[in-house]
Amino acid sequence: MEKKQNNYECEGSHIVQIINDAFQAAKCMGESLVLLDGYYLSIFALMKRAELLEKSETMLHLLTKAKKSCRAYTKPGEYKGKGRPRKKGETIKLQDLFTSRKSEFVEATVRLYGKEETVRYLCLNLLWGQKLYQELRFVLVMYGEKTAILVTTKLDLDPVNIIELYSFRFKIECTFREPETSDEWIWVSILVKSHA
């Protein structure tokens, strides 16, 4: 187990350090939600978060943006007692859902970048991560001609809240440089906490 842990900490050292620092900040603030760039939807981030949560009562949630090529999985069907239990169900290319399930998108008015806007969204809890298969909440958003796939570890977070919270990422980018040190991510966590 130690060898496996060292491998993922080495390969994902940047994101592991960010999660470590955000977790330390959450110890002071209580339950926290950290906004992260799309790059940070990674197995390294989820594994490190899970490891830290096992050792503490501190709750740290992540909210980020998935790549357009992101694939997720449905939950496996009921185990019928033959062979190994399946860890995942059907593979879903999330970008395809903007077309195939367009009629299921819900319209909502949300506050984005300081003004009210109309968006349409589809919210799904799915498994993600090759060989990890962690349940995450995905919110597919249609905003004019644009689309985005948002994702969080907080499975009960309201989809509209997810969309509005992620819009703060833009404000943070305007306020700070692109993070070069983990300290800046701690400030992101504080901003989100104060909003919630």
Residue 137's CB is within 10 A of a number of other CB atoms, namely 21
**pTM of the model as a whole:** 0.81
Query: pLDDT tens-digit profile of 33-66?
Result: 888 877 678 898 899 999 999 988 888 999 999 9
Q: Where in the chain are the domains?
A: 2-195
Query: pLDDT tens-digit profile of 105-163?
Result: 999 999 887 789 999 999 999 999 988 999 999 999 999 889 999 999 999 999 999 99
**Angle at the Cα of 12 from the Cα atoms of 7 and 16, rounded to 5 degrees:** 105
Decide: 43 and 130 in contact? Cβ < 8 Å. yes
